[in-house]
Amino acid sequence: MKVTIDDRAGFCWGVVRTVDIAEETLNQADDNRSNTYILGHIIHNPKEIKRLENKGLQTITHEQLDDIAKNDKNAKVIIRAHGEPPATYKRTEELGLNVIDATCPLVTNLQNRVKKYHQLGYQIIIFGKKEHAEVIGLRGVCNDECIVIKTLSEAEQITDFNRQTVFMSQTTMDKHVFRQVKSYLDSKINDLIDLGEIENKLIGRDTTCRAVTSREEPLMKFADSNDVMIFVSGKNSSNGKSLYNSCLKVNPNSYFIEDIGEIDWSWFDNADTVGISGATSTPQWYMEKVKQTIEDKFN
């Protein structure tokens, strides 16, 4: 059996940057590694989270910030790639905590756009998951004065377009659904313009991450070229779910796993070739481990 790892799989540059910042901070800490914290899971992958925790990185919640400020004067608190709302920065400053900002630059850019349009008085519609860490940050920069939707049916519930409206996306959402929703909103607003009810057109900004969307087409070719496709990802990864669905479109023998223990060996019956890929938060070292496990079983 031939087992191949997708050569385009692995961390996106934003995740690489965040993990590098975390490891550099841990290395600088020397014997005080217990003083290095990250606010929320660094990425949506439990294997990489565990690896960094073994190096001394402690994952904390917002509720723990007060205790850390009181009990650990040498604490370093890392802001993860998903970003945080302004209230978090204000609170950490009030507490006198040493904050290291590892927010993905794409997320920072999106936050700045949302903030700008909010200051201009636009109605802001965000395509995303309301309680996703990235969207919580976006809601924070506009005082939570925005509409968050994740489906076309939710878009159809919006009826008030009396203000100029801008439509943007959480960076890790499915670009195809984003375009479907944008097309609907364009059509809805254009109909209202034709009726003379409003004058302003929709401003649409495709802010989905190119590091994710550029993987879709080559991933589908890779999945189609193998008898069986194993997609490795954290279950909470938005881009992982999106990319896995892309595999399913071309190869019904595609399977999603977070852990090697989830593999069902009957998946490989009559298979000569197996492909392995993953989300932008899936570490290369774990895909290599999956590959070795499958090879040891069949070769």
**pLDDT tens digits, 270-293:** 999 999 999 999 999 999 999 999
The pLDDT tens digits of the residues spanning 37-58 come to 999 999 889 999 999 999 999 9
Question: Which pair of structure tokens corresponds to residue 9?
Answer: 């799989």
Q: DSSP assignment, residue 170?
A: -
Radius of gyration over alpha carbons of the chain, in Å?
22
Quick: pLDDT tens for 109-135: 999 999 999 999 999 999 999 999 999
Domain borders along the chain are: 2-10+211-298, 13-105, 108-170+174-207
CATH of domain 13-105: 3.40.50.11270
Name the active-site residue from 48, 134, 216, 258.
Answer: 134
Report strand pairing: 98-101 vs 147-149.
unpaired
Question: Domain 108-170+174-207, what architecture?
Answer: 3-Layer(aba) Sandwich (3.40)
Structure-model confidence comparison of residues 172 and 90, the more confident one: 90
CATH no., domain 2-10+211-298: 3.40.1010.20
* Model confidence pLDDT, tens digit, residues 146-170: 999 999 999 999 999 999 999 999 9
* Cβ atoms of 10 and 278 closer than 8 Å: yes
d(CA 299, CA 296): 6
Predicted local distance difference test score (pLDDT) of residue 33:
57
The alpha carbon of residue 86 and the mean position of all alpha carbons in its chain are separated, in whole angstroms, by 20
Report pLDDT for 238: 84
Element (H, E) at 24: helix 13-29
pLDDT bin (cut points 50, 70, 90) of residue 206 is very high
Are both 2-10+211-298 and 108-170+174-207 of the same fold? Answer: yes
Active site residue 93: no
Residue type, 5: I
Q: What's the rounded mean pLDDT across residues 179-206?
A: 94
CA 9 and chain centroid, separation? 15
C-alpha to C-alpha distance for 88 and 263, rounded to whole angstroms:
40
